[in-house]
Chains A and B, each alone.
Chain A
């Protein structure tokens, strides 16, 4: 956990000035920047936000961003069986922890999902029960998001294999494929990038 924090501090210093200059301008038009998003039709910032949040509020994401100490499972988001909890480091208890069962890949034999650094998001990143606006606000708030700059958040959201696991969630213990978020991975990534490029504006509730 401390290692991850360290990794973020260095880029923060580098990127802070760039972000201050470019990202919070209301007049900034999406689509006039260097990189074109991968979608045929250009979304407004609000549309990008809606698409992004439709994924981020899906159980595949919220289940590991609980508002208590219990990871959630399934579409009905029941508390993780066998009393598994956050523990002292978001990784479970000292001996029965995430790694006891979850590895860095899905396991088709057991139906146990897996991805690199499987574990809970820290408690400050609780999303369960929050509105989309509350989640987005929390996500952009450096004091709650692990000190991430917007560029780091963007990278996390579009490149972290644990996040992208939501689109490769494997099969469950009964052999049934887990439901993915309501938009495709490509559309999600495009929406996230579009939203950030447009200034990461959180629409009013």
Chain B
């Protein structure tokens, strides 16, 4: 089955045998974008979070057939060293990552949150950022999220 979508600004047209293949494996193994992670495969940990048409989606539980015609962004497309996303900038300022494995999922969820709620309260953060971090960097993440909100509003305002 042929599936086409836009990912990180590039149009991709892929021939995929099983259209129920989770988007996660297409992104990681066919498109070779390793930033989106496999943590559980059960939509429980959030390490596979990416954006589909601006929505935070757990790609381990999203059949690639649903990606037809959509706009997908992964951590590699969120920002880069030359042009980091405010979330990435804040993550760097606060030196958030420890092992780093869960971090892309958290950054993608955070970026989606800030796009819809530029000034999230701590309660907004508690409700919306529910990924699992075993190194438990939550305290720094919270500070980085508020900082990213600041950086975002500085960019706009």
Contacts and interface: CB of A to CB of B under 8 A. Distances in A.
Contact of B58 (A81, A101, A104, A111): A101
Contact of B127 (A96, A99, A109, A111): A96
Contact of A112 (B20, B43, B113, B117): B43
Contacts of B56: 95-96, 100
B33 interface: no
A159 interface: no
Interface in A14-71: none
Interface string B1-43: 0000000000000000000101000000000000000000111
B151 interface: no
A173 B42 contact: yes
B57 interface: yes
Interface residues of B, number: 27
Contacts of A83: 126-127, 130
A103 B128 contact: no
Interface string B35-74: 0000001111000010000011110111100100000000
Interface extent on A, as a size class?
Answer: 20 to 34
A95 B60 contact: no
B155 interface: no
Given A94-B128, A95-B128, A103-B66, A109 B55 contact: no
Given A95-B109, A96-B130, A107 B117 contact: no
Contact of B117 (A81, A85, A94): A94
A93 interface: yes
A173 B60 CA distance: 12
Contacts of B130: 82-84, 96
A99 B54 CA distance: 12
Given A96-B56, A99-B57, A110-B61, A85 B41 contact: no
Interface of A: 81-85, 93-96, 99-105, 107-112, 173
